[in-house]
Amino acid sequence: MLERLHERGFDDLDAAHLNVLQYPGPQGMRPSDLAARLRISKQALNYLLRDLERRGYTERRPDPEDMRSRRIVLTRRGHSAVRVIREAVGDTEREWAQEIGPKRFAQLRALLLELNELS
């Protein structure tokens, strides 16, 4: 994913940023909820969010439901980066399906999704 991002002009992103941008993405989340989902401290997440904001990928906007809180919003550049990430994941999934066969890949994918829900 990172290689594909760099090839497409998103060379200012690194592996730590991918944690924030990974599926399903941070769009509309409160930073505290995203930190909990990623299992990182709020301080670590705020550092990453500030960096992504400085680079033009995200913004934090007031939460319309609670003006004391903020919500994370992807910018146009952020949405573009996420599309490249999803494209790279799709290519990898197709390669794996060709290697192990569509039926076994479907089983693998289902198991990975199940494990992701458990964690």
Q: What is the pLDDT of residues 32-91, one digit of tens each?
A: 999 999 999 999 999 999 999 999 999 999 998 888 899 999 999 999 999 999 999 999
CATH pick for 2-118 out of 3.10.20.600, 1.10.10.10, 3.40.449.10, 2.30.290.10: 1.10.10.10
Burial classification of residue 88, based on how many CB atoms lie within 10 Å of its CB (0-12 exposed, 13-18 middle, 19 or more buried)? middle
Using one digit for the tens of pLDDT, what is the confidence trace for 10-21?
999 999 999 999
Q: In the chain, where are the structural domains located?
A: 2-118
Confidence (pTM) = 0.86
- Calpha distance 65→50 (Å, rounded): 23
